[in-house]
Amino acid sequence: MESTSTDWQWGEPIPSPTETSFGVFGLQVHYYAIFILVGIAVALWMANSRLVRRGGESGLVIDIALWAVPFGIIGGRLFHVLTHLSDYVGPNIDPLEFLKVWNGGLAIYGALIFGALGAYIGAKRAKLSFLSLADVLAPGILLAQAIGRWGNYFNQELFGRPTDLPWALKIDRPNPAIPDGLPSDAVFHPTFFYEFLWSIAGVIILLALDKRLSLRWGRLFGLYLIYYSIGRFWIENLRIDPSDVYLGLRTNQWSAVAGMVIGLALIIWSTRRHHGLELTVYTQSRAAQDEVVDIEESEGETESAKEAKSNQIESDETSPKK
């Protein structure tokens, strides 16, 4: 592989990393995996903080993540493989290639679909409102996506069409995502970086709107779907990596359209169905259970106070008079 130069100077195309992994105690650690894991950890930290501020139990997000994260990884991989079958099925292709997640290839929309299913299972077991959980998670998910995009940079993937802009990205040759016929000195849009910036801006916007408008009942998550999908639609239009095209749009552009529609539908449905404040992040059964516990504890405290007062009276009556 032709390697990009590390002696970069301002005004020249931005070089790509020459290494995708490093060795630790005989094991190869991939940068792509590191960024994915860091993104997940940051998202869980943010979600836990937000849940606690809304009256939820600290650590509950971790329990739900034990369902959501594996589901999300499996869904992201399946969605990618099914939309890029020619990369994984055919002559001279390792039949186990689809398992090599560290080489890249986790589709965000597939991760969202399956991750939502895992989160729903975890939320139901914890008696936590799924819509409340979705709102709590939304900013963190977008931040995790932003962090994860740097893994694409190290893998030299998901870049855009050729450009002469000052921030153009240089890609090592050969690269299967570079179409035949392009000049050998062509440099490309760093679309991974565009999505990173779009996502970071989105996190700030979501947090600001949530603070100002108190978006509940799934409305913040719906706004996340709309915001991310708008950016993904136009960024996807810049990409040149192989993709199926239907009616002039790439597969992930159609996914973005679906994301915008679902997000808008969720907000409309939530606005019509739920009015007023969201009083608890728990389901009605969990809230009722907590209320019963509070009543029992209160009654227990009252009985204890009565017993203590009775004992005090008895003690006073039996004590010798001075």
Tokens of residue 127, six digits: 């008696």
Q: Which of 253, 238, 243 is nearest to 163 (CA)?
A: 238
| Domain residue extents for the chain | 21-277, 283-317
* Predicted pLDDT of residue 319: 56
pLDDT for 217-229, tens place per residue? Answer: 999 999 999 999 9
Reply yes or no: is the peptide bond before residue 174 cis, omega within 30 of 0: yes
pLDDT tier, 212 (very low <50, low <70, confident <90, very high otherwise) = very high
pLDDT tier, 322 (very low <50, low <70, confident <90, very high otherwise) = very low
**Would you tell me the crossing angle of helices 60-83 and 130-155 to the nearest 10 degrees?**
50
**CB contact at 8 A, 187 and 165:** no
**Cα-based distances in Å from 88 to 91, 93, 158, 173, 234:** 9, 6, 17, 21, 27
* Predicted pLDDT of residue 3: 47
Mean pLDDT of the chain: 85
Instruction: Supply angle C-alpha 235, 240, 242, rounded to 5.
Output: 115
3-state secondary structure of 52: helix
pLDDT for 77-105, tens place per residue? Answer: 888 888 777 777 777 777 777 777 766 67
Instruction: Supply angle C-alpha 68, 215, 253, rounded to 5.
Output: 60
Average confidence (pLDDT) over 135-149:
96
- 125 has a pLDDT exceeding 60: yes
- 53 has a pLDDT exceeding 50: yes
Tokens of residue 46, six digits: 């943010």
* Predicted pLDDT of residue 292: 42
**CB contact at 8 A, 141 and 43:** yes
CA distance 207 to 158: 28
pLDDT for 246-298, tens place per residue? Answer: 999 999 999 999 999 999 999 999 999 888 788 888 986 554 555 544 445 55
pLDDT tier, 44 (very low <50, low <70, confident <90, very high otherwise) = very high
Q: Which of 110, 142, 259 is nearest to 209 (CA)?
A: 142
**Cα-based distances in Å from 242 to 113, 127, 229:** 23, 43, 20
- 11 has a pLDDT exceeding 50: yes
CA distance 228 to 235: 11
* Predicted pLDDT of residue 278: 81
* Predicted pLDDT of residue 286: 56
pLDDT tier, 242 (very low <50, low <70, confident <90, very high otherwise) = confident
| Range scoring the smallest mean pLDDT among 64-68, 134-138, 170-174 | 170-174
pLDDT tier, 59 (very low <50, low <70, confident <90, very high otherwise) = very high
Helices (H) and strands (E) in the chain, counts: 8, 4
* Predicted pLDDT of residue 302: 58
Average confidence (pLDDT) over 107-126:
93
Average confidence (pLDDT) over 200-213:
95
**Would you tell me the crossing angle of helices 60-83 and 108-126 to the nearest 10 degrees?**
150
**Would you tell me the crossing angle of helices 251-273 and 219-236 to the nearest 10 degrees?**
160
Q: What are phi and psi of 36, to 5 degrees?
A: -65, -45
CA distance 251 to 196: 20
Average confidence (pLDDT) over 36-62:
94
pLDDT tier, 306 (very low <50, low <70, confident <90, very high otherwise) = low
